[in-house]
């Protein structure tokens, strides 16, 4: 064997480098803890995964330590209020919205569209054929995939290969490039047959099992990977720090800052974000107790947000309300008290 042949033989047969288009596919990062999804959409638990629900039923999203070999965590959906008669236009599900800048190379919407393969571990208390979808931002293009849960409460590995979409409009900027979703229940207008692209907003497959119709039913996912090609390669485990930083482009709890009390009840704080965010972030108080400090004097409880004075991808200037403090003093704003959201 020549030296070139030996070197070629050492190149792995599967693509190397960054393969997984999904962020936090092993459900490791969970900045928000548990959340309930009811009549709307909510980033409840496990970063980058969003839940959506209609008015008739509710479910929770949580991080679970129950996982298959080789993983530490999973995302757990639990039906807390069943919807036994799903309306024709209703959706229930879990989704990850992938930024357009991260999928422009797929060539969707052109003749150069690339084939994708989705793989994941699933465990459900309910058996049957389940559905999911790849959709564009506007919900005008949908590809629906199906998978079968053969045994209740047992981890199973699923793969599905998806031909690239040569039609439709697929964003390649900071908007939603594509959505990957797992249906927990869909009305009849939201279903189509698995295995081909359709014009419309279809989240599930015809004849699917609707988890949301069963009270206390559960569905778990982990090892979620979406990659270019027709083969599901081994899950790309990234370091926790790298995965966390990828998530913080969209959501962060750990920003800290300083500011001056402009009155006895308002602190104007300058708070840099940890990484450059996707968009200027929305700010909310998650825990106002002792959230700010009047150094050397007292902790202060934050009771509200007056408004954002200025913001960009790398930081904000925001006016925060507190019960009482010393006007003119420099204050600290601590980590894990405010959320910064630039989610898709």
> Does residue 271 touch another protein according to CB under 8 A?
no
> Does residue 32 touch another protein according to CB under 8 A?
no
> Does residue 341 touch another protein according to CB under 8 A?
yes
> Does residue 310 touch another protein according to CB under 8 A?
yes
Of 112, 152, 193, 284, which lies in the binding site for another protein, with binding defined by CB under 8 A?
284
Nearest residue (CB) to another protein, 304 versus 328? 304
What DSSP character marks residue 240? H
CB distance 333 to 257 below 8 Å: yes
> Does residue 304 touch another protein according to CB under 8 A?
yes
> Does residue 275 touch another protein according to CB under 8 A?
no
How far apart are CB 209 and another protein at their closest, in Å?
Answer: 20
> Does residue 152 touch another protein according to CB under 8 A?
no
Nearest C-alpha neighbor of 162 from the set 146, 150, 149 = 146
Nearest residue (CB) to another protein, 39 versus 336? 39
Q: Is 296 exposed, middle or buried (0-12, 13-18, 19+ CB in 10 A)?
A: exposed
What DSSP character marks residue 187? -
> Does residue 186 touch another protein according to CB under 8 A?
no
Residues numbered 49 to 108 that lie near another protein (CB under 8 A) are 52-55, 89-91
> Does residue 170 touch another protein according to CB under 8 A?
no
How far apart are CB 21 and another protein at their closest, in Å?
Answer: 20
Nearest residue (CB) to another protein, 307 versus 328? 307
How far apart are CB 145 and another protein at their closest, in Å?
Answer: 19
> Does residue 26 touch another protein according to CB under 8 A?
no
CB distance 218 to 94 below 8 Å: no
Count of residues that interact with another protein, criterion CB under 8 A = 36
What DSSP character marks residue 94? E
246's enclosing H/E stretch is helix 240-248
Nearest C-alpha neighbor of 335 from the set 34, 31, 35, 28 = 31
Of 19, 34, 42, 258, which lies in the binding site for another protein, with binding defined by CB under 8 A?
42
> Does residue 132 touch another protein according to CB under 8 A?
no
CB distance 321 to 341 below 8 Å: no
> Does residue 123 touch another protein according to CB under 8 A?
no
Nearest C-alpha neighbor of 260 from the set 330, 191, 315, 321 = 330
Q: Rounded CA gap, 332 and 261, in Å? A: 10
Which residues, other chains included, contact 154 with Cβ-Cβ below 8 Å and sequence gap of 6+?
Answer: 123
For residue 53 the two structure tokens come to 């629900």
What DSSP character marks residue 100? G
How far apart are CB 143 and another protein at their closest, in Å?
Answer: 17
- Scanning 6-14, 239-247, 307-315, 325-333 for contacts with another protein by CB under 8 A, the matching segment is 307-315
Residues numbered 202 to 231 that lie near another protein (CB under 8 A) are none
The DSSP line for 191-231 is: EE-TTSEEES---EETT---GGGSTT-EEEEEEEEEEESSS
How far apart are CB 124 and another protein at their closest, in Å?
Answer: 22
- Scanning 60-68, 101-109, 232-240, 315-323 for contacts with another protein by CB under 8 A, the matching segment is 315-323
Q: Rounded CA gap, 57 and 87, in Å? A: 11
Please report, as ranges, the residues that interact with another protein according to CB under 8 A: 39-42, 52-55, 89-91, 174-175, 278-285, 304-311, 316, 318-319, 341-344
């Amino acid at each position: 064997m020549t030296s070139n042949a030996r070197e070629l033989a050492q190149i792995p047969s599967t693509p190397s480098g960054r393969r997984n288009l999904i962020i936090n596919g092993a459900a490791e990062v969970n900045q928000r803890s548990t959340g309930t999804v009811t009549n709307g959409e909510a980033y409840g638990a496990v970063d980058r995964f969003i839940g959506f629900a209609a008015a008739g039923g509710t479910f929770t999203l949580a991080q679970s330590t129950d996982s298959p070999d080789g993983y530490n965590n999973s995302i757990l959906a639990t039906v807390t209020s069943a919807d036994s008669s799903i309306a024709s236009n209703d959706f229930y599900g879990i989704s990850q919205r992938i930024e357009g800048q991260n999928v422009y190379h797929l060539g969707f919407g052109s003749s150069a569209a690339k084939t994708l393969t989705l793989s994941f571990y699933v465990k459900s208390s309910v058996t049957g054929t389940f559905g999911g979808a790849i959709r564009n931002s506007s919900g005008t293009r949908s590809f629906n995939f199906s998978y079968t849960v053969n045994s209740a409460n047992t981890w199973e590995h699923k793969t599905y290969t998806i031909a690239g979409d040569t039609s439709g409009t697929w964003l390649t900027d900071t908007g939603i490039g594509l959505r990957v979703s797992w249906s927990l229940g869909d009305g009849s207008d939201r279903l189509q047959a698995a295995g081909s692209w359709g014009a419309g907003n279809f989240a599930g497959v015809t004849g699917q099992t609707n988890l949301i119709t069963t009270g206390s039913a559960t569905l778990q996912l982990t090892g979620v990977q979406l990659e270019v090609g027709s083969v599901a390669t081994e899950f790309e485990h990234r370091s926790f720090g790298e995965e966390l930083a990828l998530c913080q482009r969209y959501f962060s709890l750990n920003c800290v800052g300083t500011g001056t009390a402009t009155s006895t009840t308002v602190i104007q704080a300058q708070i840099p974000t940890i990484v450059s965010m996707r968009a200027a972030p929305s700010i909310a108080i998650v825990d106002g107790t002792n959230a700010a400090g009047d150094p050397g004097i007292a902790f202060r409880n934050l009771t509200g947000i007056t408004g954002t004075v200025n913001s960009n991808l790398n930081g904000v200037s925001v006016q925060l309300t507190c019960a009482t403090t010393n006007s003119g003093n420099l204050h600290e704003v601590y980590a894990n008290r405010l959320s910064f959201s630039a989610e898709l």
